[in-house]
Amino acid sequence: MAECSVCYRHCKIGEGGHGFCGVRTCKDGRVVPENYGKITSIALDPIEKKPLNRFYPGSAILSVGSYGCNLRCPFCQNYEISWGDEVEFVKKEAEYVSPQQLAAIAKEQQERGNIGVAFTYNEPLISFEYVLDTAKLLKPKNLKTVLVSNGMAEVEAVQELFQYVDAMNIDLKGFTDRYYENILKGNRKMVMDFITEAVKYSHVELTTLIIPGENDSDEEIFELSAWIASLDKDIPLHLSRFFPRFNMTDRDATPVEKIYHLKTVAEKNLTYVYTGNC
């Protein structure tokens, strides 16, 4: 039995068992990521797709994902590799790519405009060891390391990462404990603490998916953007439109006019507010 320190759950995992994320396992009395180096998705994407609008705009980045997640968002866009029933299938299909191999692929892709590697699609922090090992190889090659994350990790557990990550897009999914705990099965304070630390080290942009009836009030977006501004009013915020899918099909897509309205609310506090999926 060993205790995982990555997120607030501090799962106690028996030998060969798994934590809530489905990835961190106990091997020889030590917690390790079962999915280390196991890639389910890889593509050369525009940097703006992460989304990062103010970090090397116009460039491309090699984007890789594995499987597993430590949240349970019912509207997950990548549920096939995060926490849906299909995860057991993709585990078997995932291909092992060592940090050395991934760094070499990223270097080869420079001729196509690649600036580095983005760890994305599923939650990368649940296998932060692989991110760290790869990032250490990318830096000497003058390649960037990017994280697209839900930010739900103990700062102390992943502290070394901050020295090597060049940019992050972090989900700040809402600004109430009710939403985080009841809908997402997460912890808002942990995400806020992670963001607070991340902005000290790297370029950070934040994303909030606007769900009708959940986190779409003027008051919540004003408070969310005011908190971001308390860190730095120049941190970009992406307000993204929701579409019904996965386990949340009980409501319509967010009205486009709502997204544009909330943009004006957030702009009372922030310099850069972008809309997505509109």
pTM to 2 decimal places: 0.97
The dotted CATH code for 35-276 is 3.20.20.70
Task: Name the band, by pLDDT with cuts 50, 70 and 90, for residue 188.
Answer: very high
89: pLDDT strictly greater than 90? no
Residue 173: the pLDDT is: 98
Q: What angle do CA 182, 184, 189 make, to 5 degrees?
A: 85
Q: For the segment 218-265, what is each residue's pLDDT rounded down to a tens digit?
A: 999 999 999 999 999 999 999 999 999 999 999 999 999 999 999 999
Q: What angle do CA 193, 194, 195 make, to 5 degrees?
A: 90
* Rounded Cα–Cα distance for residues 99 and 135 (Å): 8
Which DSSP letter does residue 78 get?
T
3-state DSSP assignment of residue 180: helix
Which DSSP letter does residue 234 get?
T
Considering the chain, what percentage of its residues have pLDDT values greater than 70? 100
Task: Name the band, by pLDDT with cuts 50, 70 and 90, for residue 86.
Answer: confident
Please state the separation of Cα 257 from the chain's center in Å: 26
Cβ atoms of residues 115 and 144 within 8 Å:
yes
- Mean pLDDT for 84-103 is 92
Cβ atoms of residues 149 and 131 within 8 Å:
no
3-state DSSP assignment of residue 77: coil
- Mean pLDDT for 193-210 is 98
Burial class (CB in 10 A: 0-12, 13-18, 19+), 250: exposed
85: pLDDT strictly greater than 90? no
Q: For the segment 153-177, what is each residue's pLDDT rounded down to a tens digit?
A: 999 999 999 999 999 999 999 999 9
88: pLDDT strictly greater than 90? no
* Rounded Cα–Cα distance for residues 113 and 255 (Å): 35
Residue 84: the pLDDT is: 83
Question: Tokens 């808002």 map to which residue?
Answer: 188
Q: For the segment 17-60, what is each residue's pLDDT rounded down to a tens digit?
A: 999 999 999 999 999 999 999 999 999 999 999 999 999 999 99
* Rounded Cα–Cα distance for residues 74 and 209 (Å): 12
Question: In whole numbers, what is the pLDDT of the chain averaged over residues?
Answer: 97
Which DSSP letter does residue 151 get?
-
Cβ atoms of residues 51 and 205 within 8 Å:
yes
Domain range annotation of the chain: 35-276
The two tokens of residue 136 are 């250490």
